[in-house]
Amino acid sequence: MHAQGKTGAPLSLVEYGDYACPDTGRAFGVVERLQLHYGKDLRFEFRHFPLVDAFPRAMPAALLAEAAADADAFWGMHALLLTHQEQLEDEDLARYAERFGLPDTGGTRVHHERVAQDMASGRERGVQGSPAFFVNGTPHAGPNDFSALSQALGVNTG
């Protein structure tokens, strides 16, 4: 799990996503817009949920993101992967790793364990696809657009 925003922020948005999934890619801009709109009031967490049967390049991309996390570069890699979803082959990932000064594209046991932990927490919460959002701890069943997520965040603030 990777988080932006302060612990204890009044609003919380958790996303389970897959770097190769087009819907997760589209949600990236929505999340950025929500972060700009809510500022310090929003804490955003991203958790890996690679759908490897549908998107075989999802796992290598998630492992690279975890390798970047080791170098305190998770969010930069996260953005790069989601904005270059059509370029997730091994040579692309190697180029991204080099861009961030990483020794390799990841894939250590620790990286696999982090992704597996995220996936397990998603399954425990009923996640079946990506992206899956939780607003203030509640599963978001509506569309994953700015209006619907913003309304959900507003409704749940009490």
pLDDT in tens, 124-154: 999 999 999 999 999 999 999 999 999 999 8
Q: Tell me the C-alpha distance between 91 and 38, whole Å.
A: 37
Architecture of domain 2-155: 3-Layer(aba) Sandwich (3.40)
Contacts of residue 51, defined as CB under 8 A and 6 or more positions apart, other chains included, come to 18, 20, 21, 58, 129, 130
pLDDT band for position 156 (cuts 50, 70, 90):
very low
**Its pTM surpasses 0.85:** yes
> What does the domain layout of the chain look like in residue ranges?
2-155
Residue 155 clears pLDDT 90, i.e. is over it: no
Helices 109-124 and 58-70: crossing angle in degrees, nearest 10, is: 110
Local structure of residue 5 (DSSP, 8 states)? S
Contacts of residue 109, defined as CB under 8 A and 6 or more positions apart, other chains included, come to none
pLDDT at 44: 98
Taking alpha carbons only, the member of 122, 9, 45, 138 closest to residue 151 is: 138
Taking alpha carbons only, the member of 27, 29, 19 closest to residue 143 is: 27
Contact 21, 58 (CB under 8 A): yes
